[in-house]
Structure 1
């Protein structure tokens, strides 16, 4: 094809292209570099040419043929930038496909336009009647994220209960605490939330805020945290990344993907990771190792089998632990975690997460499909960390180290089976679903542990204390949960403006609890609930194709709590807790920028210990309401944004104790916001400058209640992250160098505060606080072959 014979409009476009896509491996260097640049510009979909190349848009409600996850993402960002050039040839139109090649994240595409919604399948986020925010692949690589906690920071409605170290947390959404298993999913299947995961393993993290019991069965009203794995790419991908985090933790990552065989029937994705070295404080170290394999088997053009397996180990020593404090202590200012002495060389964690899952997807025709899946996960942890108990308001603390008898092994088996179809009755289109999902989980605890008191110190002038690693012994099953849900749903589309979505579920829940066999009195309690009903319905109005307004009402229930030691019904399981939500929202897509606004009111019962009868039961009500705003996409062709803000009023009702009744929920900030901007320099500044990009992330968390009596608060804080990257070519392949600084201003703040249990409000309960990380540096260099 002769470029010189392109139509005048295309000739004019060639002068506007950035050189980041230039450089190619053939004698026609100038012509092909122009085509590659045109391909990169077309990917942003800011020109009529790019719109022509993309074809028609997906269906309003379902997109059975839309590629999602890493397949589509890698096609946009790595190996398969494709654009359709139409050239007239003797009165006919000749189509030529040109393929470009850039490093991952180069385009900073921060708006993921589709969402995975369990039994509802993959739908356009714009058309869903839920508040959904996604941290996409480009954010993960450009921000050099290392764990799930790094990704949660971009979600303005999410808070974290850090459990032991910054790599392991229990998430919250809208002020409600998530369950250990029920609220977390890997590729749609329930998985453990309180175990470490490598960010490098996932294509994106999606959070559906609010109730989702009608879709996923019994779960807390904390929304759904969906981790979506990287999947095999259509084109070959060989990506090597090496880097270093301060002070001196080295990292190597290999991401290999492609397809083999006739018609590319076999797809593979291998992800290998090793990280080892000193972390943000002297006399500490951390080691991460990941082996992940993801395979696709295309049995025929209608049937695909997906098989995934991963082994991830995480170990750390010498990092600062959390601080425990009673309701009579005013939480002091957060310490600087870069000071040695807050942690000990012999304290830390060994964690291992093994995950295996498989799915079968079959399309009967363009309207009907079936999906079957199963997952098994074993999350093991050895915890022998220190605990610092604050003694006074001056920051003095007593330090102990313990190998506790809390759960150290979580075994989960989860499943799903969905049939999706589309039918018409008169002028109404129905998107139907019938299916089931659920999980089984067993908890295992040591029978005996060890605990040593190490001494006292001060958080602002800490000193290292001598001691040794404690150990635990024995093993017993402490709990078992079986949660299975039957689901039916229908989305009725009346016309291009109005539709109604309705989903109903019935859950069968079984809970059992066993006391330590070494206890003087052994107990075994159980609870069964059959066909617990959770409905959800939404009214959706689309005034135009790029706008959606909706109202959603839902109810759900979650497993009850276990009566604590000292209660008259110790170790008994309370009845399930039923939640309710009202949500109204508006979404609009302006070119490549999506804006979402949602208002909500949510309530749920909670348990507490009656001060008179000493019975632990479901006596209280938590009421949260607020407003969320989210923005994602391109503000300008060279400027990307991922941002959001949440205003939240989270309040406990009557707790049976005057000092804790009608108080703010601990750790839930009234205002939280995050703003991530990414700017690529324009071509007008020259070839070298146009290969540069800069990003800045500002995070704000407002003042939070730090105990259930609301007598002390964690101060508000602002953190700033800065980064830059430079794209270049070497040996005919794209490379990317990235450098970033987290917490550039070295802000000292409490990253996480929470009470012993958010399920109830015990006036005598201890609270926990974890300080945020100090200033840290990250450098990586990536090569794509």
Structure 2
């Protein structure tokens, strides 16, 4: 009792210590690991190395070809711009080196998040050349795509390996990194769209004490304060904690608008013994905004005009906006039986709530005139998700063959809840290039009913057979049990309830892996997967009926090489998937067509020089629809999928030879290119290509014996006007009369933060 009381007293009297992210690029290679209690990944291992480097209090040289760059031991986060995360978390497969995996994986690491002053998940997606976003009313609630396929609301998104809602706001400050596995992953994660897997990895408790305070300002008056506190207590550091507090409030990028966001998150580790760890995480995030511009809807007969300038106040209304809340709770138990066998159990519950009362601008003609309405949306405003995982990983030998085995299960349940009715008002007309604010008031919705329920559980077995240091075969098989239900609005004249069940749906994946040398990997991967079917829309003969699941197929070949501290990945792929549309003759909505995407993607991450970091990529994509039953939409480009998309982020630290003051300075530049995209299903209009430039600098210094970092950045420095997101009513297929949506990109914005580590 006395000992436990001392722990509580220690929690209430957190001391201070210096912290340094001295994660030098000279760190050694990391072996593949199973999920086990003592495995240190992400921020945990990073912060441990940082603390050890700091304790030396010595300047550490990083050798280059022409000169040595010396980095002092007292630095704040992100100082060395370590942009290559060499490991990936792959669900049932555990944590493995990305170099050795037969998948195309790209990660936005912690150093990018802090140095680019990212505020939400959408900011991080921009660095992924194979990812596009469908902005849903607000940039914080986008629905991601990968390789031209739309992600599911839940099935393609995971927080620490557990399914979670994608179309709800998240604070970037909450996460250590964002990882995207492009392509099919049904054999690993069960029923999901062929849009890749978006993994949000939380910050974990650090081995040494960390007290980090950040204050800043965005745009023209949005203030931000963030406290990140971490450490361990007790004998043998059995209790670890990480507390993250965030508040942001003020005017955004346009006058007469405001934004408010608040985060409280807590992450705890309990080391029961040297083989067992319990992780408990909880977070509460709220996001509200008013007065920002909404999207533009347009029909197939409209030629999409040039994008407007969102800094014009008239494009948004002061009484329109969103109130959103995301509550997440998760827990894991990790136990290692011995050095070869381990088990992981986990569960998550999430409640994502939204109140949407935004405006909709319907384009009337090619000159940019639009009609504006405001409505309390009757789409789903409450998503409740419960997800689970259980994996047993082991390693055995049969003769000369080493087997990395996995047997396990994962899955989720999701319920959607909608208002029964909502108010809607027509506000008037305006022009997107000369907008005027229209008088009106906030609408409200009433009532509540459950509109949908999905239960998806998957059983998984896998084996990676290593024959020698050059050749391996990976095979993973999964069987999924899927149940979908849908209910119509109870106020409808005829209320309907439909359901669909599928048992033991089979999804295989196999890979042939060849490593000519330790720093190179070539692979071929084949996989199949399936996803839940769509719901027949209003106006169809089978309205509200759930279609059969859609089956996808993929072939991928790739090559990876690590040259010193620079990793280069190249992959080619071909993917197919059925899609649904409304038959123009029978008026039946069903799975009739095929979408075929193939392309090549390249990624580069790490150190070009000891003081020059890069995170870059380019994707060439040919995404086409097949026969839709309508001549005008058959064999056309997929809406919103650019043939070419590329991103280049460079970070340069001035060398020590320029003097102590200059060596504390760093500069970064990010160039993003998106090619011309089809803007309707008929391909009669296109969104123009665009290029954006982000610039930033930072300065490290010491005050009161502690490391500080000041950062300043400009996003969209050239104030480019562009359509950031275009998409049709459904990327699973649409008829010739489908409505389309377009959201303009943000104007030039400024960011300044100052960080202190104690």
Pick closer, same or farther for the CA change 1:33–1:727 going to 2, 3 Å.
farther
Q: Is 1:39–1:83's contact at 8 Å kept on the other side of the alignment?
A: no
Q: Is 2:36–2:342's contact at 8 Å kept on the other side of the alignment?
A: no
- Measured against aligned partners, the alpha-carbon deviations of 1:734-785 in whole angstroms (never above 9, x if no partner) come to 0000000000000000000000101112111100000000000000000000
2-structure distance, mates of 1:322, 1:93: 52
Q: Is 1:61–1:127's contact at 8 Å kept on the other side of the alignment?
A: no
Q: Is 2:33–2:94's contact at 8 Å kept on the other side of the alignment?
A: no
Q: Is 2:217–2:751's contact at 8 Å kept on the other side of the alignment?
A: yes
Pick closer, same or farther for the CA change 1:690–1:314 going to 2, 3 Å.
same
Q: Is 1:36–1:100's contact at 8 Å kept on the other side of the alignment?
A: no
TM-score scaled by length of structure 2: 0.94
Shift of residue 31, structure 1, vs aligned partner: 40
Shift of residue 36, structure 1, vs aligned partner: 32
2-structure distance, mates of 1:410, 1:465: 32
1-structure distance, mates of 2:352, 2:587: 35
Pick closer, same or farther for the CA change 1:584–1:52 going to 2, 3 Å.
closer
Whether 1:445 aligns to 2:442 is no
Shift of residue 276, structure 1, vs aligned partner: 0.1
Give SS of 1:80's match.
helix
2-structure distance, mates of 1:454, 1:252: 37
2-structure distance, mates of 1:730, 1:45: 11
Pick closer, same or farther for the CA change 1:305–1:60 going to 2, 3 Å.
closer
Q: Is 2:20–2:50's contact at 8 Å kept on the other side of the alignment?
A: no
Shift of residue 408, structure 1, vs aligned partner: 0.3
- Measured against aligned partners, the alpha-carbon deviations of 1:433-461 in whole angstroms (never above 9, x if no partner) come to 00000000000000011100000000000
Give SS of 2:57's match.
strand
1-structure distance, mates of 2:19, 2:265: 36
Give SS of 2:52's match.
coil
Pick closer, same or farther for the CA change 1:523–1:31 going to 2, 3 Å.
closer
Shift of residue 155, structure 1, vs aligned partner: 0.1
Q: Is 1:86–1:94's contact at 8 Å kept on the other side of the alignment?
A: no
Q: Is 1:63–1:122's contact at 8 Å kept on the other side of the alignment?
A: no
2-structure distance, mates of 1:781, 1:90: 30
- Measured against aligned partners, the alpha-carbon deviations of 1:411-449 in whole angstroms (never above 9, x if no partner) come to 000000000000000000000000000000000000011
- Measured against aligned partners, the alpha-carbon deviations of 1:606-650 in whole angstroms (never above 9, x if no partner) come to 111111111111100000000000000000000000000000000
Pick closer, same or farther for the CA change 1:47–1:106 going to 2, 3 Å.
closer
Pick closer, same or farther for the CA change 1:318–1:35 going to 2, 3 Å.
closer
2-structure distance, mates of 1:738, 1:49: 18
Q: Is 1:83–1:98's contact at 8 Å kept on the other side of the alignment?
A: no
- Measured against aligned partners, the alpha-carbon deviations of 1:508-547 in whole angstroms (never above 9, x if no partner) come to 0000000000000000000000000000000000000000
Pick closer, same or farther for the CA change 1:471–1:30 going to 2, 3 Å.
closer
Q: Is 1:50–1:83's contact at 8 Å kept on the other side of the alignment?
A: no
Shift of residue 65, structure 1, vs aligned partner: 5.3
Unpaired segments of 5 or more residues in structure 2?
none
Pick closer, same or farther for the CA change 1:764–1:262 going to 2, 3 Å.
same
Q: Is 2:48–2:206's contact at 8 Å kept on the other side of the alignment?
A: yes
Q: Is 1:356–1:377's contact at 8 Å kept on the other side of the alignment?
A: yes
Greater Cα offset, 242-251 or 84-93: 84-93
Shift of residue 100, structure 1, vs aligned partner: 4.0
Could you say which structure has the larger radius of gyration? Answer: 1
Choose which of 281, 284, 301 in structure 1 pairs with 2:257. Answer: 284
Q: Is 1:60–1:127's contact at 8 Å kept on the other side of the alignment?
A: no
Whether 1:356 aligns to 2:335 is no
2-structure distance, mates of 1:88, 1:648: 42
2-structure distance, mates of 1:500, 1:132: 19
1-structure distance, mates of 2:12, 2:71: 7
Q: Is 2:19–2:51's contact at 8 Å kept on the other side of the alignment?
A: no
Choose which of 72, 79, 86 in structure 1 pairs with 2:45. Answer: 72
Greater Cα offset, 187-196 or 60-69: 60-69
1-structure distance, mates of 2:261, 2:24: 43
**What pairs with 1:496-535 in structure 2 (closer than 5 Å)?**
496-535=469-508
2-structure distance, mates of 1:58, 1:125: 10
Q: Is 2:103–2:181's contact at 8 Å kept on the other side of the alignment?
A: yes
Greater Cα offset, 383-392 or 29-38: 29-38
Pick closer, same or farther for the CA change 1:771–1:50 going to 2, 3 Å.
closer
Q: Is 1:77–1:104's contact at 8 Å kept on the other side of the alignment?
A: no
Shift of residue 575, structure 1, vs aligned partner: 0.4
Q: Is 2:23–2:82's contact at 8 Å kept on the other side of the alignment?
A: no
Pick closer, same or farther for the CA change 1:304–1:768 going to 2, 3 Å.
same
Pick closer, same or farther for the CA change 1:70–1:531 going to 2, 3 Å.
same
Greater Cα offset, 612-621 or 509-518: 612-621
2-structure distance, mates of 1:380, 1:295: 25
Pick closer, same or farther for the CA change 1:662–1:48 going to 2, 3 Å.
closer
Pick closer, same or farther for the CA change 1:602–1:49 going to 2, 3 Å.
closer
Q: Is 1:335–1:460's contact at 8 Å kept on the other side of the alignment?
A: yes
Pick closer, same or farther for the CA change 1:521–1:93 going to 2, 3 Å.
closer
Pick closer, same or farther for the CA change 1:39–1:309 going to 2, 3 Å.
closer
Q: Is 1:43–1:81's contact at 8 Å kept on the other side of the alignment?
A: no
Pick closer, same or farther for the CA change 1:340–1:57 going to 2, 3 Å.
closer
**What pairs with 1:157-168 in structure 2 (closer than 5 Å)?**
157-168=130-141
Pick closer, same or farther for the CA change 1:383–1:311 going to 2, 3 Å.
same
Q: Is 1:432–1:490's contact at 8 Å kept on the other side of the alignment?
A: yes
Pick closer, same or farther for the CA change 1:85–1:674 going to 2, 3 Å.
closer
Q: Is 2:22–2:49's contact at 8 Å kept on the other side of the alignment?
A: no
Unpaired segments of 5 or more residues in structure 1?
1-27
2-structure distance, mates of 1:223, 1:89: 37
Pick closer, same or farther for the CA change 1:330–1:303 going to 2, 3 Å.
same
Q: Is 2:30–2:97's contact at 8 Å kept on the other side of the alignment?
A: no
Shift of residue 114, structure 1, vs aligned partner: 0.1
Give SS of 2:213's match.
strand
Pick closer, same or farther for the CA change 1:390–1:93 going to 2, 3 Å.
closer
Shift of residue 73, structure 1, vs aligned partner: 2.6
Pick closer, same or farther for the CA change 1:60–1:295 going to 2, 3 Å.
closer
Shift of residue 168, structure 1, vs aligned partner: 1.4
Shift of residue 88, structure 1, vs aligned partner: 21
Bigger RCO of structures 1 and 2 (CA < 8 A, at least 6 apart)? 2
Q: Is 2:20–2:77's contact at 8 Å kept on the other side of the alignment?
A: no
Q: Is 1:444–1:478's contact at 8 Å kept on the other side of the alignment?
A: yes
Q: Is 1:350–1:383's contact at 8 Å kept on the other side of the alignment?
A: yes
- Measured against aligned partners, the alpha-carbon deviations of 1:453-497 in whole angstroms (never above 9, x if no partner) come to 000000000000000000000000000000000000000000000
Choose which of 224, 238, 263 in structure 2 pairs with 1:265. Answer: 238
2-structure distance, mates of 1:678, 1:51: 15
Shift of residue 72, structure 1, vs aligned partner: 1.8
Shift of residue 101, structure 1, vs aligned partner: 3.8
- The RMSD of aligned alpha carbons is 6.3
Pick closer, same or farther for the CA change 1:46–1:478 going to 2, 3 Å.
closer
Whether 1:395 aligns to 2:385 is no
Pick closer, same or farther for the CA change 1:327–1:34 going to 2, 3 Å.
same
Pick closer, same or farther for the CA change 1:625–1:83 going to 2, 3 Å.
farther
- Measured against aligned partners, the alpha-carbon deviations of 1:135-184 in whole angstroms (never above 9, x if no partner) come to 00000000000000000000000000001111110000000000000000
